Amino acid sequence: ETAEMLLKAANTGHLVLATMHTKSAPGAVSRLIDFFEPERQGAVCADLADAIGAVISQALIPSTDKTARVLAYEIMTTDGGVGPQIRKGKLEQIPNEMRQGASYGMTRMDDTLAKLVKEKRITIDEAVRHSASPEEFRRVLVA
C-alpha cells in the first residue's frame, strides 16, 4: 500500500525520497517491484521507469586502520539504457547499462570500492564483503 502511494505521488510530479535496505541501486528497484502482486509487476516496471530519477546506494565501510568509516556509494540514473531495461523488466541488464553510464553520472559500487582499495582506505576483504558481485569484483581487482 505504501509503495503504491509512493509510485502515484512520483508519477504525478511529486519529489519522493525513500530509504531501503539493499546492497545496490538495482537491488532497490527489484525490491520495490517485489512489493507488488506478480500480475501487476509489468505495469509497475513501466511506471517506475518514468518515475525514478536516480537511486543512490551507500555503505559505510570500516577504514583500513579501523578508526573510522569510509563512504562507498553507487549512483544509478534512468538515463541511457537503464530506464528502458526497467520498463521491460530486465533488471539483470541494469549493471551492464550502469557500466556504460558514466557520462550520465552513474557510478557503480564496485568502482567506488576498487578506488577505495587502491587508495588504501579500505581493505580488499571489506570491499569484497560489500560488493554486489564478490567473485567478479575480486577477479577485476586482481587483473
CA 143/CA 12 separation, integer angstroms: 47
Mean pLDDT of the chain: 94
Spans of all domains in the chain:
2-108
Q: What are the tens digits of pLDDT across the range 31-86?
A: 999 999 999 999 999 999 999 999 999 999 999 999 999 999 999 999 999 999 99
C-alpha cell at 11: 508519477
| pLDDT (0 to 100) of residue 136 | 85
Go through 65-89 and write b for each residue having 16 or more CB atoms within 10 A of its CB, e for each that does not: eeeeebebebbbbbebbbbebbbeb
Q: How far apart are CA 71 and CA 59, in angstroms?
A: 6
Q: What is the pTM of this model?
A: 0.88
CATH number of 2-108: 3.40.50.300
Q: What totals of helices (H) and strands (E) does the chain contain, helices first?
A: 8, 2
Task: Give me 33's grid cell.
Answer: 517491484
Nearest CA-CA partner of 62 in 117, 138, 23: 117
> Does the pLDDT of residue 132 top 90, yes or no?
no
